[in-house]
Amino acid sequence: MNSLFDPLRERAATLKPARTAVVYPLSQASLGAAYEAADAGYIEPVLVGRMRR
């Protein structure tokens, strides 16, 4: 499937992952997005927040 984001994804694939702070990811959506971005090689996530909830 082609999308408007394909050129951006192709460019990002040539770069090393950006170290990215994921601050206090409490929702499944925010943690899932960080996981997917890391899995795709776009980011190196650094989780910021309390160890226990």
What tens digit of pLDDT does each residue of 10-35 get? 999 999 999 999 999 889 999 999 99
For residue 9, give both structure tokens.
């994804």
Query: 2 pLDDT exceeds 90?
Result: no
Confidence of residue 50 (pLDDT cuts 50, 70, 90): confident
Alpha carbons 16 and 3: distance in angstroms, whole number: 22
- Confidence (pLDDT) at 1: 66
Distance in angstroms (rounded) separating the CA atoms of residues 40 and 25: 19
pLDDT at 36: 96
Dist. CA 52–CA 19, nearest whole Å: 23
CA distance 29 to 27: 5
- Identify the residue whose tokens are 């994921």: 22
User: Is 70 exceeded by the pLDDT of residue 53?
Assistant: no
The model's pTM: 0.79
